[in-house]
Amino acid sequence: MTTDDSVQVSVLGLGAMGSALAAALVKAGHPTTVWNRTPGRADGLLALGATPAGTAADAVRASGLVIACLLDHASVHDVLDPLAGDLAGRTLINLTTTSPAQSRESAAWAAHAGVTYLDGGIMAVPHMIGRPGASVLYSGSAEAFDRHKPLLDLWGTSTYHGDDAGLASLYDLALLAGMYVMFAGFVHGAAMVAPAGITAREFAASAAPWLSAMTGGLAGFAQVIDGGDYTVAGQQSLEFSHLGDLQAASAEQGVSTEVLDVVQGLIQRQIDAGHGAEGFARIFESLRRPA
């Protein structure tokens, strides 16, 4: 499938991410109108060939396809609510980071206004847009996704998660949760070895391949969780997974155990409930049913 460079696009919001999205469109040959609440953000894009809009209304009227990449959910409504009439009959792709509930609320607002709505979660930082490794998750209008997929693929791998507009955001935030917890674990490890004179860069050289290798176990965890049987042979038990030694070693190094304490709390809750011999994946139940 090839891109149709005749598609006229308007991009609302020219922060680092919005500018990266717009630049990819301009470079691919799409006539692109850009607008930002704060003047001056468009200068680099204008040099590439983008067309400036004096107001958000002007930007919306310029194109049948409108991309919003604004600060937050409130800013989306601040900008777009007054333009509901202008947006009617157009397609809105909202790439602003929002919660699943906010995404669904925006989809309902769009439906009421006669706007075709597609929600997106960007799994990339700005400099990754248009490069290998970037991906964007979508949910909402299947028709909009299918029609504009060649354009969407300019930004990264495009994946559609269904007509529930909140699912892209849900996937996005769930993946980020995994990322941030992993990063926190790495930083904790770096803090542990620092008193021994080991730099974070040296530690990263060991941590990166180790953590990468450990991701191979995710499919196994998923199978156990989906099956609901935490007694399946071959799993590391919760009792064996007890983090007491890690907590003690951290304290000896003068390092806070806060990161480990959270995980140990999830483990201990299941041990206390009589599940100590079952697999580590059972902490899923601690998370699903908070204390």
Q: What is the pLDDT of residues 230-256, one digit of tens each?
A: 999 899 999 999 999 999 999 999 999
Distance CA 184, CA 216 (A): 20
CB-based contacts of 175, cutoff 8 Å, min separation 6: 123
pLDDT in tens, 113-128: 999 999 999 999 999 9
Q: Give pLDDT, residue 2.
A: 39
Cβ contact 142:91 at 8 Å: no
**Higher pLDDT pick, 81 / 38:** 81
Q: What percent of the chain has pLDDT over 90?
A: 95
Q: How far apart are the first and last CA of the chain?
A: 50
Domain covering 199-288: architecture = Orthogonal Bundle (1.10)
Task: Check whether 1 has a pLDDT greater than 70.
Answer: no
Query: Over the chain, what is the mean pLDDT?
Result: 96
- Do domains 9-163 and 199-288 share one topology? The answer is no
What is the fold of 9-163?
Rossmann fold (3.40.50)
* Domains in the chain: boundaries: 9-163, 199-288
Q: Which phi and psi (to 5°) does residue 115 adopt?
A: -110, 130
Task: Name the residue with tokens 């391949």.
Answer: 209
State whether the Cα torsion 154-160-163-168 is positive or negative.
negative
